[in-house]
Amino acid sequence: MDRAPLAAGETEELTQWLTADRRRRGAFIRARAIWMRSESARALGPQYDPENFQPAAAEPPPPAHVERRRPMMKWSGALAASLVVAVMLVTTLQMPTAYATAKGEMRTVPLGDGATVTLNTDTHIKLYDDEGRRRIRVLRGEVLIEGAAATSPTLVEVDGKQLEGSAATFVVRKLNDQPAQVLVQEGRVVLAEERQATLPLSANTGASLLEGKEQGWQLRALSYGQLSRELAWREGKIALQGETLAEAVALYARYSDTPIVIADPGLATVPVAGLFAVNNALGFSRAVANVFDADVRQEGDRIVIAARHRAGGL
Amino acid sequence: MWTRVSDRTELEGDRDFPLDDVERARWFVHHILPHEAALRGWLSRRRAPGAFDVDDIVQESYALLAERERVDDILNPRAYLFQVAHSLVVRSIRRARIVPILAVEDLGLADLPDDAATPEQSAIAHDDLRRLAEVIASMPGQTREAFVLRRVRGLSQREIASRMGLSENTVEKHIVRGLRWLGDWFASGGNPPAKSSNQLKREQRRAGARARNQSGY
């Protein structure tokens, strides 16, 4: 037997630990099932040599050595062994820590090692610790990872893609209905590509996942000014430089449940520039209305921007 | 049979969790594990980004099935597994409250994969042992050696430790790693597990070297 069976106290402890998180129970039964499934490997017999099963490799001649016969494993011990192995597996499974922000909220989480991750509005991430290596899975939203001074790299997963930042400060975005984006401000970020060479990004580079394709990123150089605008949210600002009013309104929608409605199709296409506070949709609307000679009114939960000649008729 | 699982699954968390139910584990081996890859594929095609995590849904689905009083009354375990997962997804989406109506509509079970074995499943069933032999062969060095000694030759951890000149603790770690390797294999539908993080690391180091040699993009 590999290990003594679990003592009564240990069993109780284990049960409590499993009960604390349902996912642990699922992972536990899964581990036991896989362990049990691997029992059939015994049927491979003593002649089994993994070298003969290397995929796509020329088959080497069968080895000549003869394996000494082993007594059958004591099956009474099998259960205890499978419990121990399953527990081992589940306890080493990384149960991640989830962090989320509501609309309009921002939050900074230290990653240890001097690195931090800042969650912008309406963002959901999971933080894993893989044998001391940190990994962040971005499920939704936008994060800024600041690890320029950190000694260990940060692994990030977004949209099924993996990237790794070394001594890097970078933004990862996964916004609704948009392909994932990576913006590197400082340091080096490597995009891992399956079955392809990895793709290193240097500072001041942006990468967007190509939509509808199996793989591939589209790269673009970012000027200092562009990057600062992309990062204006850290100061609680939205930086606009010629975006249409419709685009600006869509940006505000990320930060607030109070939608801005543009009542005039003509207004939707006017370009807007300026630095605005993310948490002040009404102020933004008034500023815009002032410039374009429009009216702003609040209708229940909405802010409506309408051209003056219409509103004037009321 | 679809109506059997409803939102009430949420409330069933307090039941005693059996630790040593061998029959239950065996049922999972035959009726659930083979469908995990298809379930993951189905979940990852849902159009609700960020509302749920595939790993969480899979683990919770396993847990809900493990907590059931009995499983032998489940006529179609594959369909049942998908139904459980579906109700968990709907629950997460409701909780997230951020997903457009479209996403919830998109979650209809209309496109639920049918009960027929998928190509990868029949492949697994067809040459089961050979696939197992291959996936064990694809394990990294010492993990593979320890796993073969343990699961194929049936040696105890202590014997493996002395044969490989490692501590028992290290042997145990290798065996757990091997088990995880197998788990990844099931998760991916019987394809060799994706690159290990070590492989990825090696590649990244190489890419890093390239990046240092040329001056970036």
Cα A262 from chain centroid? 33
| Domains along the sequence of chain B with CATH | 2-116 (no CATH), 122-213 (1.10.10.10)
Two tokens, residue A65: 């050595």
Residue B165: the pLDDT is 94
Q: In degrees, to the nearest 5, what angle opens at C-alpha A36 toward C-alphas A30 and A37?
A: 90
Spatial separation of the C-alpha atoms in residues A265 and A241, rounded to whole Å = 20
Q: Residues in chain B, how many?
A: 217
**pLDDT score of A61 more than 50:** no
Query: Where does A41-153 show beta strands of DSSP type E?
Result: 97-100, 107-112, 115-119, 124-130, 133-146
A36–B26: do the CB atoms touch at under 8 Å? yes
Name B128's Cβ contacts closer than 8 Å, sequence gap at least 6.
A40
Residue A48 CA to residue A54 CA, distance in Å, equals 12
CB contact at 8 A, A284 and A251: no
**Residue B156 pLDDT more than 90?**
no
Residues of B in contact with A255 (CB under 8 A): none
Check the CA dihedral A59-A65-A66-A68 and report its sign. negative
pLDDT score at B129 = 78
Residue A264: per-residue pLDDT: 87
Name the residue among A41, A164, A194 with its Cβ closest to that of B204. Answer: A164
Question: Cα–Cα distance between B32 and A285 in angstroms, integer?
Answer: 55
pLDDT digits (tens, 9 = 90+) for A86-112: 777 776 666 778 888 888 889 999 988
- The CATH code of the domain at A236-311 is 3.55.50.30
Closest partner CB to A41 (pick from B98, B151, B158): B151
Domain positions in chain A: 8-92, 97-228, 236-311
Check CB contact of A19 with chain B, cutoff 8 Å.
Answer: yes
Minimal Cα distance from A35: which residue of B?
A: B179
Q: Pick the closest to residue B94 from B3, B2, B7, B5 (CA basis).
A: B7
Complex ipTM? 0.71
Q: What's residue A292's pLDDT?
A: 87
What is the per-residue pLDDT across A122-149, written as a single tens digit (0 to 9) for each? Answer: 999 988 877 678 899 998 999 999 988 8
| Eight-state DSSP code of residue B192 | P
Nearest residue in B to A101, CA atom:
B96
Distance from CA of A293 to the nearest CA of B (A): 33
Interface contact A33-B53, CB threshold 8 A:
no
Task: Determine contact, residues A36/B25, Cβ cutoff 8 Å.
Answer: yes
Nearest to A155 by CA among A140, A142, A170: A170
With an 8 Å Cβ cutoff, is A162 touching chain B?
A: yes
- Per the rule left: phi > 0, alpha: psi between -120 and 50, beta: everything else, A206 is beta
Interatomic CA distance for residues A163 and A206, integer angstroms: 13
Q: Which of B29, B49, B134 is opposite residue A36, by nearest beta carbon?
A: B29
Contact A29 B51 (CB under 8 A): no
Helix (H, G, I), strand (E, B) or coil at A302: strand
pLDDT at A4: 52
Q: Which residue of A has its CA nearest to B176?
A: A89
Do B182 and A34 lie within an 8 Å CB cutoff? yes
> CA dist A211 to A180, B13, B72, B210, Å?
9, 40, 44, 27
Q: Which residues of A touch B176 (CB under 8 A)?
A: 85, 88-89, 92
Residues of B in contact with A45 (CB under 8 A): 152
**Closest residue, chain A, to B100 (C-alpha):** A176
Bridge-based pairing of strands A115-119 and A124-130 is unpaired
Query: Could you tell me which residue, A71 or A179, shows the higher pLDDT?
Result: A179
Query: Which pLDDT belongs to residue A34?
Result: 86
Mean pLDDT of B101-109: 47
Q: Which residue has the higher pLDDT, B171 or B188?
A: B171
* Bridge partner list, B49: none
Among A37-51, A225-239, B199-213, which stretch is predicted with the lowest mean pLDDT? B199-213
> How many CA within 13 A on the CB side of residue A72?
6
Residue with tokens 């073969």: B148
CB contact under 8 A, A35 and B179: yes
Calculate the CA B217 to chain-centre distance.
38
Asked if the Cβ–Cβ distance from B217 to A14 is below 8 Å, we say no
Is the per-residue pLDDT at B10 higher than 60? no
Chains A, B: CB contacts within 8 A come to: 205
Q: What is the pLDDT of residues A167-225, one digit of tens each?
A: 999 999 998 878 899 999 998 899 887 666 678 888 888 888 877 656 678 888 888 88
Among candidates B51, B134, B204 on the partner chain, residue whose Cβ is nearest the Cβ of A190: B204
Of the candidates B51, B66, B139, which has its C-beta nearest A26's C-beta? B66
pLDDT tens readout for residues B14-27 = 456 666 677 888 89
pLDDT at A279: 87
What is the average pLDDT value for chain A, to the nearest integer? Answer: 80
Question: Tens of pLDDT along B70-103?
Answer: 888 888 899 999 999 988 888 877 766 544 444 4
Q: Which of B144, B194, B207 sits opposite A198 (nearest CB)?
A: B207
A residues 183-222 lying closer than 8 A (beta carbon) to B? 188, 190, 192, 194, 197-203, 205, 219, 221
CB atoms within 10 A of CB B120: 16
Is some CB atom of chain B closer than 8 A to the CB atom of A140?
yes
What the block records as the tokens of B89 is 């997804």
Nearest CA in chain B to A202: B216
Q: How far is A276 from chain B (nearest CA, A)?
A: 24
Report the CATH number of the A97-228 domain.
2.60.120.1440
Residues B15 and B36: their CA atoms lie apart, in Å, by 24
DSSP strands (E only) in chain A: 97-100, 107-112, 115-119, 124-130, 133-146, 154-158, 161-174, 181-192, 199-201, 205-209, 217-221, 237-244, 260-262, 271-277, 294-299, 302-307
